[in-house]
Amino acid sequence: MSQLKQTSYEPLTEPAAIELALSLPIFTENAELSCREIGDGNLNLVFHIVDVKGGKGVIIKQALPYAKVVGESWPLTLKRAKIEADALKTFGQLAPDYVPKVYFTDDVLAVTVMEDLSHLLIARTGFINGETYPLISKHLGEYLAKTLFYTSDYGLGPAAKKAQVQKFINPELCKITEDLIFTDPYFDADTNEFEDSLRTDVEALWQDAELKFHVNVLKRSFLTQAEVLLHGDLHTGSIFAGNSDTKVIDPEFAFYGPAGFDIGQVFANLLFEVIANDSKRDHFIRHIETVWSVFKDEFSRLWNTENKELSAKTDTFLGYNLSKFFEDSIGFAGCELIRRTIGLAHVADLDSIEDEQIRLAAKRTTLELGKILIKQRKEITDVPSFIEKVHGVL
């Protein structure tokens, strides 16, 4: 694209976002653009730009040099915009149906201009409003299988995979996850946020040495196991959904880590709906079952047809890998349940429950289930035993 690259960073305003959009070969010369900043995430500005005459639109996402959720006191690297753009392009090649198209990126301005997804809704918001998105779990199972297989040693071959590991070194964003998911919720950290009525439950969790041991084991896997290119923040706020489409956005936390991390975040964020919403419980349990069965079938198909590691291509070794991914995903799901209940970044599935007693009961359930999944992940070897544990706390 011919747009001049910027020489210095500044946060965009709505008029500046329009000017940037007009400089790209996306809209016609007589386009009349309107723009709204719609970012509701924790970190970035997001502008929705529409041609009021033609109806065509784009999204411009810009990283801020600090974490928006906390403010300027928490500086954050702008390099994450390049990681995100590179990850969107990589995942877009591997699973084009499930990733927005990227039209333009600028590393200095820390912006990505991408496909307008405003015909879809953030999946978490849709779920809370009563949507069930019948195809979302099939789509996520396929997305996970393709992105995790094709970025692994088996999909890429070891040399090409090492080059990707290097490209996606992402220490600053990984540190956020290391702190907010694996460290802070397990002691009296300033970042934690929880309701006063949960203090006894939280203090019991801080005293639970067995739990903290297992969380350290999971954190060590996160730190050391460069298995696949992860999205790294695959919660339902990072997914746009509709009845026939699913698009995974926001991979700024992308890095090479254990495959079970992305799968576990998907499981946990579906579990929030299982726990928060009695009337849709069975539906969301079926979504969890479908994510795993579609993932397993598609990953197995790719293993057998596209495997570059010929000496590894046996059924036994495939089974070993799938069992490891499943065990890890159960443990990481437990960590996500706990940190979204008592850590810095919460989920609206729980916080928007108006009735205090029902909300507190739901949060106690997520804490209880989180502990079980983390401690008992080695015994939870398949989906039925996973669902049995879920039913056990409901």
Using CB under 6 A, which of the segments 27-35, 174-182, 322-330, 350-358 binds ligand SR1?
174-182
Q: Could you tell me the CA-to-CA distances from 209 to 186, 205, 215, 383, 390 in Å, in that order?
A: 10, 9, 10, 27, 23
233 binds ligand SR1 (CB under 6 A): yes
Candidate list 345, 350, 362, 373; residue touching ligand SR1; CB under 6 A: 345
Q: Nearer to ligand SR1 by C-beta: 140 or 345?
A: 345
Nearest distance in Å: CB 43, Mg ion: 6
Candidate list 1, 69, 223, 394; residue touching ligand SR1; CB under 6 A: 69
Length of the chain: 394
Q: Nearer to ligand SR1 by C-beta: 94 or 344?
A: 344
Alpha-carbon distance of 186 to 338, in angstroms, equals 9
Could you write out the DSSP letters of every residue in 17-47?
Answer: HHHHHHTSTTS-TT--EEEEE---SSSEEEE
Alpha-carbon distance of 175 to 78, in angstroms, equals 15
Alpha-carbon distance of 142 to 329, in angstroms, equals 16
Nearest distance in Å: CB 270, ligand SR1: 16
From residue 229 to residue 268, the character string flagging contacts with Mg ion as x (rule: CB under 5 A) and all else as - is ---------------------x------------------
Q: Nearer to ligand SR1 by C-beta: 43 or 58?
A: 43
CB count in 10 Å sphere of residue 291: 25
Residue in this structure with the two tokens 């969380």, named with its chain if needed = 215
Candidate list 12, 27, 41, 349; residue touching Mg ion; CB under 5 A: 41
Nearest distance in Å: CB 235, Mg ion: 8
> What does the buried/exposed string (b/e) look like for 174-200 if buried means 16 or more CB atoms within 10 Å of the residue's CB?
bebbebbbbbbbbeeeeebebeeebee
Closest C-alpha among 106, 45, 42 to residue 79: 106
Residue 279 buriedness (CB in 10 A; 0-12 / 13-18 / 19+):
exposed
Using CB under 6 A, which of the segments 3-11, 172-180, 199-207, 287-295 binds ligand SR1?
172-180
Candidate list 45, 50, 67, 234; residue touching ligand SR1; CB under 6 A: 67
337 binds ligand SR1 (CB under 6 A): no
180 binds ligand SR1 (CB under 6 A): yes
Q: Could you tell me the CA-to-CA distances from 386 to 298, 309, 324, 326 in Å, in that order?
A: 21, 31, 15, 10
The three-class DSSP label of residue 271 is: helix
Alpha-carbon distance of 268 to 342, in angstroms, equals 15
Alpha-carbon distance of 312 to 323, in angstroms, equals 15
Using CB under 6 A, which of the segments 140-148, 161-169, 175-183, 346-354 binds ligand SR1?
175-183
Q: Nearer to Mg ion by C-beta: 91 or 186?
A: 91
248 binds ligand SR1 (CB under 6 A): no
Q: Which does 176 bind (CB under 5 to 8 A by kind): Mg ion, ligand SR1, none?
A: ligand SR1
Using CB under 6 A, which of the segments 159-167, 173-181, 296-304, 346-354 binds ligand SR1?
173-181
List residues near ligand SR1 by CB under 6 A. Answer: 42-43, 67, 69, 176-177, 180, 233, 344-345
